[in-house]
Structure 1
Amino acid sequence: MFKYLLVLFFFSSILIQAQYTDQINSNRPGASLGAFAVGKGVVQFEGGIELRNYKHDRYNLSTVNAKVAFLSVRWGFLFEQLELTYQGAFVFDRLINKISTQHVEFKRKGLLQNYLGVKYLFYDPFKKERKVNLYSWKANNSFQLRDLIPAVSLTAGANFILGKNHYPFGDMFDALYRPIFFQNLGLPSEREPQLSLRGILATQSHFLGTWVFVTNLIYDRYLTNHTEKSYILTLTHTFHPLWSIYLENQGIYGDRYDDLIFRTGTAYLFTDNIQIEGSFGI
């Protein structure tokens, strides 16, 4: 199974009391979650549209063409290290079943993700300000081993299933995951529990002034019969005060959905509170 995707994201933040930085503290570019919280008193919205094309080798190259709308809401509360985060994704797609000689087409729509969690930054290497060397630009800007020490956070929360679910366990081909006599009923082969748990361990390293490396280790759908493990590695380079580029690798391992994805793209800081991203992946 593989996919191509094109993403256009818009981000904005709303200052309620005080902000951790003067500029937007976004998880983007890329699909990984940064280690840092958004900042106490900040509400931030991240949204976008993704075009996906799937092809499944085991179902005679059956395909799914999908439009996915994303929304992420982040709220920093109580103190700088704590964040309440919501992640949602809604899909409009067309499934073409090529198992039989006569192809059958299904049009569907529904929630692909509905997650609410809490992030806590439990190690911040930047908490203590470094002393500036007034006599050496090189000493202040050269690479140092301590730059590789990452910030570390843990996000824990729950997935909520609402109403009819066309994509149980994230499986875009669930309608084909049954004997052919039952496929025309349009019902999922196995119902995903209305509640399951998800945890994300995130690290974030800054080095050479313009490079950021983020890692995510994810354990998803705990309390179900189909748990899923995944990782995301994201390397971002800011080559201009307003522009950045990134490379990303994501691996997903589950008995219902298994994938290896590579992404690249660029982000533009439109204002201190708005960032725009375009990405492509395979």
Structure 2
Amino acid sequence: MPSGAFAISRDEIKPRSLCPFERLQMTSVSTLHLHSRDPIIPSQILRIFPRTPKELVAAIAQFPVTDISDLVGRFYTMQAIEPLYRPAPPVCGTAVTVKCPPGDNLAVVKAISVASGGDVLVIDAQGFTTWCLGGFQLLRAAIEDYGLAGFVMNGAYRDIEDAQRAGFPLYGAGVAAWSGPKAGPFEINVPVCCGSVIVQPGDVVSASTEGAVIVPRAYAGQVAERLAQLLKAGKSSADKDGEARAVADFIRKVDAHIDHVFEQGGGVYLDADA
């Protein structure tokens, strides 16, 4: 036993009393009650919004994601959003945007009924992949009852094999088995962030094995026109033969440029005597 002013005898040590929270049985209901909050900002839905004309969506849909990405640039090319199964069916449609708390899919359920046939849900779940945003029965309703074209999610989904058998395009940040709550709050058809890209309702979203891109509604006409021009000039990825010729020409030009710079800069061939 240590001696001195701070020595404590065994008899003086008493069991630590439990605080009220430690005595409370932590059921799912009590936990929800203890951690619930009442945000000032309410759930919000925009039912009517400006849409990219269908003919422009159809025109853009004819071209590979890579060509579209080249035209819209890095600001509108998503990061870390990939097909949730492969081979991945491509999808292109009008964005119906969804914002939900991590792991909560109440907004997804509601957005399906807000969307129109051919729309793509772009879901901002803040990159949370521990819980999923739904399963195949939700997809079945989206496909059969509402005609949605696909989901692009900054979050996770499940029942991937069922989605693959149905051929429904699913793009996201991951796969998770556990389905979270339907508690809200939520926002539908507001600006969202998906794959580090800001998406507005009514924008065009296009996704394939190569990734996912957004065409802002205000620029859809210019993008569609430029894609058509590239195809006509044989510079589109949609024209494989033309693309091969363009790449071969590009390599020749770059090679000649590098040779010039190399020689002007005093570059030395290490096998000059060979």
Higher relative contact order, structure no. (Cα contacts within 8 Å, ≥ 6 residues apart): 2
Measured against the shorter chain, the TM-score band is under 0.3
- Structure number with greater Rg is 2
Instruction: Give the TM-score normalised by structure 1.
Output: 0.21
More helix by share: 2
Instruction: Give the TM-score normalised by structure 2.
Output: 0.22
